[in-house]
Amino acid sequence: MQSHSDSVARIADYYLERVRSSLRGLPAAEQDEFLREIRSHIHESYQASVGEDDVVRILEVLRGMGEPAALVAERLPGNLVGSAVRNRGPLLTIVGILIALFGIPLGFGGVAVLAGVLVALSGLVAAYFATVGLICLLSVMMLAFGLLRAQRPDIWDRLLATGVIQMDPGASQFLDALSPGDQALILIGCAAILGGFGFAMFWVGRKYLLPGLRFLANLALDWVQKSARTLRHKLQLNTSERVRQPTFFSVG
């Protein structure tokens, strides 16, 4: 709103700050994208409005958009799902659907569902990264065996004979037809492929899975904090009411 008067800009900025406060717990990138869309909508609506008083025009525009909390409840789910589809973020897609169904940011009516989904997704993400770790471990072991086959074939043969290294009969027959150097190259090549696949899985998990899980955890933490503040406020009110109540004494 920089092209308008300072009063219009201040009013719009105050409204946007209230919108931002309703987005607490959302990743910063998602907050910024949502606010950009709202700012653009305010600008377009203001330009299309008529009237001589700028302040009256901007107030009418914001009144038509509704209270910030209601605006977030209405537009955030679609915004999150759209962002997740564009960025291929599966967990953020789930978050957007949850918010659309249960209104999680506004009153946390679906907090039980959120907690269940958070636990389930945490388990899935943990299993995913455990698989990544296993693939990377296999890659390192295969690389070590390849180097051992190339540098110390006598040790390799001893380990193979004692059963420390066990191989599938078909793979063993295939490798026996090759020279030790070729066997080492195959092992090292397989190790590189496994390592690259493990790194790709780690990158995907770090970029697309962890942000969605962190967002869900932030929502749950925000709900706990708000619940604690609400409970403390009620306790303080009850205490204040008891203190203000008059005490009657009966005279015998």
Does 181 reside within a domain?
A: yes
Does 34 reside within a domain?
A: yes
Does 240 reside within a domain?
A: no
The total of structural domains in the chain comes to 2
Average pLDDT for the chain: 75
Q: Does residue 121 carry a pLDDT above 50?
A: yes
Domain extent, residue 20, equals: 1-89
The pLDDT tens digits for 163-183 are: 777 777 777 777 777 888 888
Residues 117, 208 share a domain: yes
35 neighbors 19 (Cβ within 8 angstroms) = yes
Does 7 reside within a domain?
A: yes
Does 145 reside within a domain?
A: yes
Residues 125, 29 share a domain: no
- pLDDT score recorded for residue 140: 93
Q: What confidence tier does 189 reach under pLDDT thresholds 50, 70, 90?
A: very high
The pLDDT tens digits for 211-236 are: 666 666 666 666 666 666 666 777 77
Q: Does residue 123 carry a pLDDT above 60?
A: yes
Q: Does residue 247 carry a pLDDT above 70?
A: no
Q: Give the residue from 22, 54, 89 where a domain finishes.
A: 89
The alpha carbons of the chain give a radius of gyration, in whole angstroms, of 31
- pLDDT score recorded for residue 2: 45
Residues 75, 20 share a domain: yes
Task: Spell out the residues 6+ positions from residue 55 whose beta carbon is closer than 8 angstroms to its own.
Answer: 5, 7, 8, 11
Task: Spell out the residues 6+ positions from residue 90 whose beta carbon is closer than 8 angstroms to its own.
Answer: 84, 208, 209, 212
- pLDDT score recorded for residue 88: 46
- pLDDT score recorded for residue 138: 92
Does 246 reside within a domain?
A: no
Q: Secondary structure of 215-235 in the HEC alphabet? A: HHHHHHHHHHHHHHHHHHHHH
**Helices marked H in 22-166:** 28-48, 54-65, 68-87, 90-102, 111-151, 153-162
Residues 47, 119 share a domain: no
- The first and second tokens of residue 2, run together, are 């920089």
Highest mean pLDDT among 93-102, 137-146, 175-184, 222-231: 137-146
Does 182 reside within a domain?
A: yes
Q: Does residue 135 carry a pLDDT above 90?
A: yes
